[in-house]
Structure 1
Amino acid sequence: MELFDDLDPARAWLAAFVGGIVVTVAAAVAFPQRVADGFLWRYFWGPVDADAHGATCAVRSGGTTERLYSQSACRAADGIVAEPGYTIVSTVAYAVVLVFMLVGVLLLLRKLEIEMSPEFYFALFPFMLLGGALRVVEDVNATFLASGMDTFIPYPEVALIISPFIYFVMFGFTLAALVATVSLDRRGALERFEPALGAAGAVALLATFGVLAYASATREIIAFNPLFLALVVVGATVIAALFWAVSERYAPVINEGTGRMGILVVWGHSVDGIANVLSLDWGPELVGQSYGSKHVVNRATVRITEATYEFLGYGGLEETIGSAWPFLLLKVVAAVAVVWVFDEQIFDESPRYAYLLLIAILAVGLGPGTRDTLRATLGI
């Protein structure tokens, strides 16, 4: 018992992190076909490879990788097939890694003795948008590659802005900005570190937007559909405003813990929901292109809705009102529920954990929502 009492949680986390990497690498080397190809490549690197090359799938066989560009070729392929996007296995794995990394961040915040506040929460908002915007840079890259044009970023370096590696890139960049601004604050160079932290994220975000704007202005295959962008932003803003007005008047208890931070949670997840509905159901009408979902929950929601239409004998509703709209309802309801759960007691008992978890909840909605919105805005 004394051994565990004296154990430094931060060192234990670091040991677990290094140990996990060592065990994974050792297993991949010892069992290349089952672990390296059958698990790591199939669920993690393979989807990244296919995504980076704009392929329908990537096939691993005999130690070599082949990219295929049609569903029929992928179905007929002999080997381990990986498609861009997420699977149940990768989704669960990412969730576990996310929780583990959140614990690490929590321990770091304790070491740095950083005071959690709404200002800190809002300062991280540009970083959440940045993650999604960087993914769109990779989407532009893949579009250039598919058209035989020179890419912005070569392969495999482009993998750094593809899931799951972009999570580590964003984690490292955000952590570096946080440590730098906190250091300047404690040296007296800044009155508070939060504005400088937010500014660092905003500068990186504007630079990324500049790259996307340049691609749209100089390449004919990259379009610009401002109507889609406006519909998403205005729609999410209206939903968030209605949430705040109705909850403050009829159920103010919902916002007692989060205050105005809850507005951003609902707004971020509404962006994700609206972007999915518009792109999946109305992509051809709004941007001249059809889209498919890469997320497990979204795909399941669409399938269930279509099956419900058929069961009720209203198959025509799919063309009239679409089949992705329940995903928006699910996102909004889940966001409001989260805001309600984060009451004053949670923030009083463990403020660092509460703020960190709330940030993560916003990021998992706003990141994909930003990507989906910008992709459709650029017509890719």
Structure 2
Amino acid sequence: MLGDFFRKYFVNPIKYNTGYNPVNTLTYAVILGLATILVYKVLKRLRIKIDNAFFRALIPYMIFGAFTRALTDAGVFPRTYITVSPGIYFLVFSIAFPALLISHRFFKDWRGVFLSFGWGLVLVDVAALSANIGKVSFRLEVLKYFIPFVIIAELVIYLLSRRVYLIRKNSYLFYVHFYDATTTFVGVDFMGYWEQHVVPRLLIGLTGTAAVMYVLKFSILFIALWIMEKLEKEGEDKELLDFIRMVIFILGFAPGTRNLLRMLMGV
């Protein structure tokens, strides 16, 4: 019985690419929350400062995860449980976290080493794409939709940031999640893709357009950041809240980049 339950809600959605369901969505959310707290505690114990330099060092790993996921869709890499979502997050973590620990333990300029290793992983993906270029049918027409809509979306955030302090303070998070929302909007409304996540899929079905993603993302992000702002004023660990903001950034940047790369590669 337990095996059938696990197969139905966790294995089959990945195996048959049927998207997320309420059960696995909630489970993955709990795992993400627990993992965030656990990783933060480890970083604190190791006295690894969570600052802008640390954040920048994570960028290539985000790109690597998104790129690898898109290359899997393009048939360059085999489709397995660790090369598609959510397994790709575990794959990237299983590479990035040991690389971070080793860099921090053995190198004085550990951020530089960690950053260089991340860009090396991206180059591996570039090499894999170059070696399999014949498998990819590029669709640059995606850009004629993406570029104008992402400019408009980011302009909205810029204008709102001039009036609303909470948005101005966290503008990079709103920018990146509107970037992600734009890739979904363009993919679903113009390129024939479909949304895999439960709530967005429901709202798109009800409204008839993936433009609803802008409203959904803005609402959830604003409420979450408002709560975090209140917690910070009440004395909650600021570094922990900054780490959570970093995770929120990853959850916008990684899928958005994967969506864009996937559309550009015509898969």
Q: TM-score range by the shorter chain?
A: 0.7 to 0.9
Scaled by the length of structure 1, the TM-score of the pair is: 0.62
* Counterpart residue number, 1:113: 47
Which structure has the larger Rg?
1
Q: Deviations over 1:270-289 (max 9, x none)?
A: 22211111111111xxxxxx
* Aligned amino acid, residue 259 of structure 2: D
Higher RCO, 1 or 2 (CA under 8 Å, sep at least 6)? Answer: 2
Partner of 1:159, secondary structure, is coil
Give the CA deviation at 1:234: 6.5
Q: Deviations over 1:265-310 (max 9, x none)?
A: 2232122211111111111xxxxxx22221112211112213xxxx
Q: How many residues align?
A: 266
* Counterpart residue number, 1:79: none
Q: Deviations over 1:310-330 (max 9, x none)?
A: xxxxxxxxxxxxx11111232
Runs of 4+ in 1 over 6 A off after TM superposition: none
1:243 to 1:198, Cα distance in 2 relative to 1, 3 A: farther
Q: Deviations over 1:18-63 (max 9, x none)?
A: xxxxxxxxxxxxxxxx111x21111112222224xxxxxxxxxxxx
* Counterpart residue number, 2:262: 375
Counterparts of residues 1-380 of structure 1 (less than 5 Å)? 34-36=1-3, 38-51=4-17, 84-141=18-75, 152-153=77-78, 158-185=80-107, 188=108, 190=109, 193-215=110-132, 217-219=133-135, 222-229=136-143, 231-232=145-146, 235-236=149-150, 239-240=153-154, 242-244=156-158, 246-247=160-161, 249-252=162-165, 254-256=167-169, 262-283=170-191, 290-306=192-208, 323-339=209-225, 341-343=227-229, 346=232, 349-380=236-267
1:213 to 1:279, Cα distance in 2 relative to 1, 3 A: farther
Structure-1 separation of matches of 2:171 and 2:130: 29
- Conserved in 1, the CA contact under 8 Å of 2:181 and 2:256? yes
Could you tell me the percent identity over the aligned residues?
A: 24
1:229 to 1:43, Cα distance in 2 relative to 1, 3 A: farther
1:230 to 1:344, Cα distance in 2 relative to 1, 3 A: farther
Give the CA deviation at 1:139: 0.9
Give the CA deviation at 1:108: 0.7
1:235 to 1:267, Cα distance in 2 relative to 1, 3 A: farther
Structure-1 separation of matches of 2:23 and 2:16: 17
Structure-2 separation of matches of 1:337 and 1:197: 33
- Any unmatched runs of 5+ in structure 1? 1-33, 52-83, 142-150, 257-261, 284-289, 307-322
Structure-1 separation of matches of 2:21 and 2:71: 23
